[in-house]
Each structure stands twice: as structure tokens, then as C-alpha cells.
Amino acid sequence: MAQLNFNVMDDLIESRRTFDNFIAAPNTREVIEEAITIMAESIKNGGQVISAGNGGSMCDAMHFAEELTGRYRLNRPSLPAVSICDPCHITCVGNDYGFDFIFSRFLEGVGKKGDVFLGISTSGNSRNIIEACRVCKERQMKSICLLGKDGGKLKNMCDLPIIVPHEGFADRIQEVHTTIIHIFIRGLEALLTAEQMGQA
């Protein structure tokens, strides 16, 4: 067996510690429940959730959207969600306007009053998420951001920041973000499924 230059258990322990710190932070449950409520109200009123991120965070944004349009734990009607991940759009806007505007241009064309933007940035300083939050204010869209470290610039630019406090590598933050996303989806299924299936 190959010899690793790190201790596997150290990674597992660091991951657990990051989760523990997030769980112990003030208002963790409240901000997650508030985010679910904001998204559910938007969908009930004919809106949609538009998600975005960079790199691994884009994968999280895509995962969030596909679980809503597809299924998570329950068989239920599809829920309106889309992630900004079309390579044609991204390369077009990146080439013509710059990478900072790949998400904001999408929101300008597709987002509408009452929609919700879910931005994901482990640093809290992703310029293209910042630009997207700026457009949200113009379009009267709510913005929820999953952030890391101290929340960066985005903690003061979005309507609801959810911060995973961790000063190390982004992977630990992403692990918590993925769990939060799963809780979001489960919450939306719980709040919306009965109503959409005529059981409310």
C-alpha cells in the first residue's frame, strides 16, 4: 500500500471540527430555517430559485437545482430551480463582458421580482457572486449566500448570509455547504410537497 504524506484521521477530525463550529455558531438553525422559508414563499408565489457558484461551488449549485427539479427523498411535483452553468452562456459573457459578470447577466435576462438567488462562495469574496447580488437588489430578488471564512464582502451584500467559519482550505467549507443544501432541499419538500399535491 502506498504511503500517504498526511494522516487520514486528521482530515476526518478537521471536517468534524468544522461542522461542530458551524453548529455551535449563533443562530445556525434560525438562518437555515429562514432561508428555506424565503425560497418556499417564492416558489408558492410563482417564483424560482436560481443558484450559482464557482468550481466546486458550481457543482453544489447544480446539485441543489437538480434535486428540486428531479427528486430528493419524496416523489412529488418538480420544483422550479435552475443553476447558472450553461457553458455557452458562461463563455459568451466571459468573453464579451468578463468573468465577473457571468451570473449577473443571467439574472438580468432570466431573474424577476420575487425570485430567489442562491449564491455560493467559500471565500465570501467571489466577484461574480457580488455582481449577482447587486442585480438582485435592482430586480427586487432575495439573495441568500452560503459563505465561508468570515463571510467576506458578501456577508453585507446579500439579504441572508449563512457563514461557515473556517480559515483553512475550501474543501472543509464545501463539505458543510453540501449538508446545508441537502437540508434546504428537504425543507422545501416538507413545506411544498403537501400543498402541490393537494394535501394541504
Q: Is the pLDDT of residue 196 over 90?
A: no
What is the band of 181 on the pLDDT scale with cuts at 50, 70, 90? very high
The arithmetic mean of pLDDT across residues 14-33, rounded, is: 97
Q: How confident is the model at residue 194 (pLDDT cuts 50, 70, 90)?
A: low
Is residue 35 predicted with pLDDT exceeding 60?
A: yes
Segment 121-126 mean pLDDT: 98
CATH architecture, domain defined by 34-194:
3-Layer(aba) Sandwich (3.40)
Domain regions of the chain by residue span: 34-194
pLDDT tens readout for residues 129-176: 999 999 999 999 999 999 999 999 999 999 999 999 999 999 999 999
Predicted model pTM: 0.94
Q: What is the 3-state secondary structure (H, E, C) of the chain?
A: CCCCCCCHHHHHHHHHHHHHHHHHCCCHHHHHHHHHHHHHHHHHCCCCEEEEECCHHHHHHHHHHHHHHCCCCCCCCCCCEEECCCHHHHHHHHHHCCHHHHHHHHHHHHCCCCCEEEEEECCCCCHHHHHHHHHHHHHCCEEEEEEECCCCHHHHCCCEEEEECCCCCHHHHHHHHHHHHHHHHHHHHHHHHHHHCCCC
Is residue 48 predicted with pLDDT exceeding 70? yes
